[in-house]
Structure 1
Amino acid sequence: MTESDTGYVDEIAYTFGYCDELNPLRLGLPLLQAGLALPTVHTACELGFGHGVSVNIHAAGSPSRWYGTDFQEAHASFAQQLANSAESEAQLFGEPFSEFCRRDDLPDFDFIGAHGIWSWVSEENRALIVEFVRRKLRPGGVLYLSYNTQPGWTAMLPVRELMHQHFQIGAVSESRDGAAAEGRTQGRIEAAVNFARTVFATQPGYAIVNPLLAERVDALAGENPNYLAHEYFNRDWHPMTFSQVASSLAAAGLTYGGSADYRDHVDEINLNPAQRALLADIADTGLRETVRDFCVNRSLRRDYWIKAPAPLNADERDASLRNHRVILAVPRASVVLKVRGALGDAQLPETLYGPILDVLDSYRPMTLSDIENSVRGRGIVLEQIVKAVTLLVGMGVLLNAQNDAQISAAQSSATKLNAAICEQARHHDEVQFLVSPVSGSGILMPRVAQLFLLARLHHMQQPAQWAEFAESVLRGTTQATRATTELPPVAAASLENLIAKANRFAQIHLPILQALGVA
C-alpha cells in the first residue's frame, strides 16, 4: 500500500516512541478528580499502534488483554515479534481500519486508545473509528484520543501546505531516480523543509506578522525525518478544535472526561488569575475547553472521553483517591522542584512537595492514604496531596502503581519483554523503553543501560563486567557500521567511561529499577 492509495506516507516507518497516556492506569487521577467512576480494564485496544512499543509494554505490564492494528506491514510485524517474545497474548494485526474495525471476532473493550492518528487520517477513517467506538466500547469505558488542535497550529497551517505542495511536486521527477523508496521520500522531505526555510529567509510578510514562525521552521531541519514524514507530509492533515472533535464523538455516545496531560490539572502553572476566573464562570464544557486552548495556545490535545459515565459522590471520590497508589521513580536527591507550564517555569513549594517525596523515599508503592497519614501533622490535606501527586506524575517523578495482585500477574511477561528488548540492544538502539510491572508503563532506558541489564541477565555481577560487555557490543556495532556505510560511525564509548557509567548505574539507578520490577 502506497501514499497514493491511502494518502498516508508509508515509505518511511514511524519512530519507536512510547506514549504513557495509552496506559489505562493513568485514568485514575484525572477521572477521579472529575468525580467519575473508573472502569476495570479487562480488555483494551490501540488503533494505529506504529511499531507497537506502547501496546506491547501495556500488554506485558498489566493483566489486561490487548488488541490493536496498524496498516503498515513493517510496523505490525515488529509489534507481533515483541508480543511473541513477551508471551503476553496480545492480538496485534496489520490491517487498515476498514478491515479491523469491522472484524466480528473482537471483544467489547473497556479502554480504546488512538494516539497520533485522528488528525492524520481521512474523514472516512475518522467515521470508522467513531462507529467502532460506538459499537465496541462498553458503558463506562474510556477512549483516549490525541489530536492536533487550534489555535496552536493555526499559524503553521500555510507553512505545512507550502511544504506539502513542494513534497508532492518532487514526486514527479523521482521516478527517474533509482534510489530506494525510503531514501527518495526522505530526500523529498528534506528538500521541502529547506524550501520553506529559503522562503522564510526572504522575510515574507507572513513571517513578519508571525515573528515566531521562522524559528519554528528552522527547527524542523533538526527533526527526525521519520517523525516529519508522519507529522507534516500525509495527504490528510486536520488540526481540529475541541468542539469539532466533541461533535464527532457525540455520535458514539461519548462525553468529555478530562485531560490526559496531568499538568493540565494544575491551573496555577498554566493560567493567570484572570484566566482562571474567566473559565470558572463558563458552564458549557465545549466553550470552556475552547477558551482554555486559547489561553495556553494549545497545539496538541490529549483527552479522555467516556461512554455513559457514572458520577461519584464526594465520599466515594475521596475514598477512591485515597486508595490510589504511586511510587517514586527517580532518585529522591535528584528531584528539582521546578515545572514548566503554559506560563513558563514555576517553582514548587518545598513545604508541600518535600514531605510527600520524603514519605515515598522507600521506593515502595504507597496509597495516597498512606501519604495523608504521614504528613497530617504538617497540616497537609488530601486535596493538596492529590494536586501535588498529579503534578509529580506529570513531571515523571512519580509513577502510578498497580495493586499487588496485578503486579504479580504482570511480572512474567514484563520480564520476557524486557529481556527481548535488551537483546535487541546488541544491534541497535531503536526501542529505548522497558516495562515496569509495578506501574504497567514504559521506563526510559537508553541502549547502554539496556546492555548493562543484559550483562546481568548473563550472570555478570560486577559493574566492570557490565562495562566490558557493553564496550564489546558497541565496538562490534561500530565496526559493522564502518563496513556497511560511507557515513562516519559513532565512536564506541571508552571502557573507562563505561565503567564509570556502570558504577553510577549500580549505585543510583539499579535499586530503583529493582523496585519497579524492571531489573
Structure 2
Amino acid sequence: MTDWTAGYVADIGYTYGYYTELNPLRIKLAFLNQALAFPEVGNACELGFGQGLSANLHAAASVTQWSGTDFNPAQAGFAQELAAVSGSEARLYDQAFAEFAHRPDLPDFDYIGLHGIWSWISDENRTVIVDFIRRKLKVGGVLYISYNTQPGWAAMVPMRDLLTEHSDVMGAPGQGIVPRINAALAFAEKLLATNPSYAKANPQVASRVKKITEQNRNYVAHEYFNRDWMPMSFTKMAQWLAPAKLQWACSANYLEAIDTLHLTTEQQALLTSIPDPMFRQTVRDFCVNQQFRKDYWVKGARQLSPLEQAEALRSQRFILIQPRAEVSLKVAGNLGQATLQEAIYGRILDQFADHQPRSLAQLEQALQVSFAQIQQAVVVLSGTGALAAVQSDAHIATTKRATERLNALLMHKARSSSELVYLASPVTGGGIAVPRFHQLFLLARAQNHQQPAEWAQFVYKLLTTQGQRLVKEGKALDTAQEQLAELTAQANRFAQKQLPILKALHIA
C-alpha cells in the first residue's frame, strides 16, 4: 500500500489554531520599524495550512487572493467548506508540496507563509519548498517561516527521539497514535524517575516532559511524533533559503525588536560588535537560548530613507482589541518581566480606549511625546496583543460581507464545539479570539435575543440539549438555577466589556 503521509502524522487531525503572524497586514509595522520597504500583498500562499482556519480568516477578511495546500484531505475538506461559505474564492488543495508546487494555474505571490511546517518535513520536501519560493515569490515578496531552533532544542532532541522510538518499537500495531503517545510519555517519566545522568546534565528536560504530558494530544502528535523532526540553527536556515535569493528581514515577533527585554547590556554590546547581521542572529539565539523562531525573509530588501520611513509609519492605523482597563503594563521578555512607563503607555492606551482606529500621526498630534517613543510603544503593544493593525476603510467595506458569512458558520459550529475560538474581522484583516460562549452570545443576538438574560437562556438550552454542564472553578454546576446564574453573569460581563470591542471590529 502506498504511504501518502511521507512520515507525517495523519491519523489524528491538527488543532484548529489561528496564527496571527500569517496575516500579511502585520508585515508593515515589522518592516517599517526596520526602515524596510514592504510589498502590498495581492496574492498570498500558505503551505501546510492544517485545518485552514488562518487561511480562511485571512482570505475572508482581506482583499488578498489566497492559495494553499495541506496534504491531509480531511483538513483540506474542512478548509474548503469554510472558503465556500465565505465566498472568498480561496483556492485550497489537498496536494503534496511537490504536486502543488507545479500547478500551472498558480499566480506569482507577494507573500508565502509556512507556520509550523519546516521543522517537521523531510529534506526532500524542504528542497521542493525552496524551489517553489525561488520560482513563485515575486521580487520584493516576503516569506514568513517559523521553525524549531537550536540551541533551545538541543537538550530535548535525544528525549524526543526516545519518545518516537518507543512509539514505533513498543506500540502495538493498530493501537492508534494517542495510546502510543501516552505509553511513550509514561515510559519517559519512568526513565526520568531513575535519575539518569542525562537528566542530571539536562535538568530542564524533566519539566518539559511533564509539560508535554499536559498538552492536547492532537498538538503533541504533530509536534513530536512525526518521522521527520529537525530543529535548525539560524545559519542553517539561511543556507537553505539562499538559492531562493532570500534575505533575512526581521522577526515576525514584534517584541524581539526590543533588545532591552531580552538581552543584558553586555550581550547587547557583544552583538553590536558583530558586523555580519546573519552571524549576529546566530549569536543572539545563544544569548536567549532561542527555541522557536518566527521570521520574515524578503526577496530583495530595500532600505527606506528616514523621511520615507517616518511618513509611512505615521500613516499606519491601529485599534485596541482588549478592554482598556485589562491591558497590562507588564511585558515578559527573556530577562523576566518589565514594567512599561505609565506616562507614555497609559496615555497612548487612553487614546485608543474608545476602540476606534487611530494612526501614529493622530497619536503624535494628541500627545506631547516624541515620535520615537510612540513608535516603540505601538510596536510593544502590538507585540503583547493589545493593539492590532487596521486596513483601509475601502478594504473594510469590501470584506465585511465575506466575514459575516464565515463568522455565521463558525458561530453555528460553536453550538456543539469549543475548538473554533476565532472569528474574522474586516477591520484587522484577520482573526480575533472569541471563545465559545461569547460566540454563542453573538449567535443569540443575531437571532433577535436582545438582553444578556435572553442570551444566557439561549446558551443554557443549547447545553442542556447536549447534556453539557458548566464548570466553575473546577466544579460542575448541577442545578438549572446555578447554571443560568453563571451564564447570565458571563453574558453581562460580555455585554459590558467584549461586545463594544467586537462591534468596533465589525464582528458584532
TM-score (norm 1): 0.94
Runs of 4+ in 1 over 6 A off after TM superposition: 1-4, 488-493
* Per-residue deviation, 1:490: 9.7
* Per-residue deviation, 1:3: 6.5
2:493 partner amino acid: R
* Per-residue deviation, 1:351: 1.2
Distance between the aligned counterparts of 1:412 and 1:132, measured in 2? 33
- Cα pair 2:46 2:113 within 8 Å, conserved: yes
- Cα pair 2:456 2:491 within 8 Å, conserved: yes
**1:6-45 Cα distance to aligned partner (Å, 9 max, x none):** 1111101000011000000100111112111110101100
Aligned to 1:51: 51
- Answering whether residue 451 of structure 2 is matched by residue 459 of structure 1, we say no
* Per-residue deviation, 1:477: 2.2
Q: Find the residue that maps to 1:362 and give its secondary structure.
A: coil
Aligned to 2:82: 82
2:169 partner amino acid: I
1:201 partner amino acid: A
Distance between the aligned counterparts of 1:398 and 1:14, measured in 2? 28
Distance between the aligned counterparts of 2:90 and 2:173, measured in 1? 40
Aligned to 1:139: 139
Map 1:91-490; keep pairs closer than 5 Å. Answer: 91-171=91-171, 173-175=172-174, 184-376=176-368, 380-478=369-467
Query: Over aligned residue pairs, what C-alpha RMSD do you find?
Result: 1.7
Distance between the aligned counterparts of 2:182 and 2:207, measured in 1? 17
**1:277-328 Cα distance to aligned partner (Å, 9 max, x none):** 1111212122100111111111000000001122211110111111111111
Residues 500 and 163 of structure 1: CA distance in aligned 2, closer, same or farther (over 3 Å): same
2:153 partner amino acid: W
- Cα pair 1:73 1:94 within 8 Å, conserved: yes
Structure 2 gap ranges (5+): 470-474
Distance between the aligned counterparts of 1:123 and 1:92, measured in 2? 24
**1:326-346 Cα distance to aligned partner (Å, 9 max, x none):** 111111111110011111111
Task: State the number of aligned residues.
Answer: 501
TM-score (norm 2): 0.96
2:486 partner amino acid: N
Residues 455 and 193 of structure 1: CA distance in aligned 2, closer, same or farther (over 3 Å): same
Distance between the aligned counterparts of 1:81 and 1:120, measured in 2? 26
Alignment identity in percent?
Answer: 50
Distance between the aligned counterparts of 1:425 and 1:510, measured in 2? 17
* Per-residue deviation, 1:102: 0.9
Aligned to 1:180: none
* Per-residue deviation, 1:5: 4.7
Residues 348 and 489 of structure 1: CA distance in aligned 2, closer, same or farther (over 3 Å): closer
Residues 5 and 322 of structure 1: CA distance in aligned 2, closer, same or farther (over 3 Å): closer
**1:61-114 Cα distance to aligned partner (Å, 9 max, x none):** 111011111000110000011111111111110111011011010001111000
* Per-residue deviation, 1:4: 7.8
Distance between the aligned counterparts of 1:152 and 1:73, measured in 2? 33
Structure 1 gap ranges (5+): 178-183, 481-487
Distance between the aligned counterparts of 2:402 and 2:87, measured in 1? 6
Q: Find the residue that maps to 2:103 and give its secondary structure.
A: coil
1:133 partner amino acid: I
1:198 partner amino acid: K
2:364 partner amino acid: E
- Cα pair 2:477 2:483 within 8 Å, conserved: no
Aligned to 1:484: none
* Per-residue deviation, 1:362: 2.1
Distance between the aligned counterparts of 1:54 and 1:360, measured in 2? 26
Distance between the aligned counterparts of 1:2 and 1:262, measured in 2? 43
- Cα pair 1:35 1:313 within 8 Å, conserved: yes
**1:339-387 Cα distance to aligned partner (Å, 9 max, x none):** 11111111111111011111111211111111111112xxx21111111
Residues 356 and 152 of structure 1: CA distance in aligned 2, closer, same or farther (over 3 Å): same
